[in-house]
């Protein structure tokens, strides 16, 4: 069985997103930036990841770049996955090394199906200004991440631009203080599907909180999302279109429920095999 999970606001939480004080009991450090502790994980979640049954292949699946993923020390020391997917599916790490063939495959898909990053950036040029844009990055030469003042974002203008780039093979996601513009060909589902093809046709359990995770959760045989984030807000707006299970808790301890769900699916699958 594969367990493929988003990281930020699903398993790993910044101070802003975790919903409890950083000195609350049951937390462990997950990431440092320039020597400063910046993200946490539930101690129970870490324990559950470290003790997963050997026939569950855990795959971190993140929009973070390769370098940003490598900052999460838990996945470099305590839990070291055989596979990790970064760059929203643009890169696959195998035993910590980037798989060049997958990256080349993704870039060929971009040439076939999506406008260039320069074209998309030009479409947004007249609405991106210092009043609401704090920072901008072209991540791994694949997609844009903007750090924003969300309350100051010109929503109608940005929404109109998003509709334009969607017709050019790109999509958008707003997660907390970040706006992502990502080519549709760079996605988490395709990367997980590729790994599953490599190891065999096994069931997939997935978890994630954002619209960029939706294609992965739709693809999975079993899916769960935390009671916060874009997918939960979409569930509130359009309940008939979102069919995943959601946790009872929001914030960092929602991850404990997610890992319990993964184990329950695995236990049921083992029971089916035995019976």
Residues 66-79 as b/e (b if ≥16 CB within 10 A, e otherwise) read bebbebbebbeeeb
Say whether 65 sits in a helix, a strand or coil.
coil
Q: In what order do the strands lie in the sheet with 178-183?
A: 133-139, 143-148, 178-183, 170-175
Residue 73 DSSP one-character state = G
The residues, any chain, with a CB within 8 Å of residue 110's CB and separated by 6 or more, are 142, 183, 185, 186
Digitized pLDDT (tens) for each residue of the chain, 275 residues in all? 999 999 999 999 999 999 999 999 999 999 999 999 999 999 999 999 999 999 999 999 999 999 999 999 999 999 999 999 999 999 999 999 999 999 999 999 999 999 999 999 999 999 999 999 999 999 999 999 999 999 999 999 999 999 999 999 999 988 888 999 999 999 999 999 999 999 999 999 999 999 999 999 999 999 999 999 999 999 999 999 899 999 999 999 999 999 999 999 999 987 655 44
- Which pLDDT belongs to residue 275? 41
The residues, any chain, with a CB within 8 Å of residue 226's CB and separated by 6 or more, are 9, 10, 207, 209, 232, 246, 247, 249, 250, 251, 254, 255, 258
**Going from the N-terminus, what domains does the chain have, and what CATH number goes with each?**
2-106+185-274 (3.40.50.1000), 115-183 (3.30.1360)
- Which pLDDT belongs to residue 269? 83
pTM of the model: 0.94
- Which pLDDT belongs to residue 272? 57
What are the two backbone dihedrals, phi and then psi, of residue 7, each rounded to the nearest 5 degrees? -110, -70
For residue 123, the tally of other CB atoms under 10 A from its CB is 17
Are residues 269 and 56 in contact, defined by beta-carbon separation less than 8 angstroms?
Answer: no
- Which pLDDT belongs to residue 18? 95
What are the two backbone dihedrals, phi and then psi, of residue 138, each rounded to the nearest 5 degrees? -95, 105
Task: Kindly list the distances between the CA atom of residue 139 and the CA atoms of 6, 13, 88, 236, in Å, as whole numbers in the listed order.
Answer: 17, 21, 10, 31
| CA dist., res. 205 & res. 196, Å (int) | 12
DSSP collapsed to 3 states, 164-232 = HHHCCCEEEEEECCEEEEEECCCCHHHHHHHHHHHHCCCCEEEECCCHHHHHHHHHCCEEEECCCHHHH
């Amino acid at each position: 069985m594969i367990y493929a999970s988003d990281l930020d606001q699903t398993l790993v939480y910044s101070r802003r997103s975790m919903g409890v004080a950083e000195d609350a009991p049951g937390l462990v450090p997950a990431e440092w930036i320039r020597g400063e502790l910046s993200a946490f994980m539930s101690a129970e979640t870490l324990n559950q990841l470290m003790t997963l049954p050997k026939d569950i292949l855990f795959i971190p699946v993140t929009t973070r770049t390769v370098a940003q993923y490598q900052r999460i020390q838990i996945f470099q020391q305590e839990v070291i996955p055989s596979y990790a997917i970064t760059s929203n599916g643009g890169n696959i790490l195998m035993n910590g090394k980037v798989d060049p063939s997958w990256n080349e495959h993704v870039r060929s898909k971009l040439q076939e199906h999506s406008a260039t990053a320069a074209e998309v950036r030009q479409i947004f040029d007249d609405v991106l200004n210092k009043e609401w844009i704090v920072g901008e990055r072209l991540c791994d030469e694949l997609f844009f991440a903007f750090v924003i003042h969300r309350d100051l974002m010109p929503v109608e203008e940005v929404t109109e631009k998003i509709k334009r780039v969607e017709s050019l093979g790109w999509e958008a996601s707003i997660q907390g203080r970040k706006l992502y513009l990502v080519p549709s060909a760079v996605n988490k589902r395709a990367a997980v599907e590729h790994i599953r093809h490599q190891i065999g046709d096994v069931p997939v359990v997935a978890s994630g909180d954002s619209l960029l995770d939706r294609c992965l959760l739709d693809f999975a045989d079993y899916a769960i999302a935390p009671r916060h984030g874009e997918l939960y807000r979409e569930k509130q707006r359009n309940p008939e279109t979102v069919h995943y299970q959601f946790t009872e808790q929001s914030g960092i301890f929602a991850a404990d429920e997610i890992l319990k769900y993964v184990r329950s699916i695995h236990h049921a699958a083992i029971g089916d095999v035995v019976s």
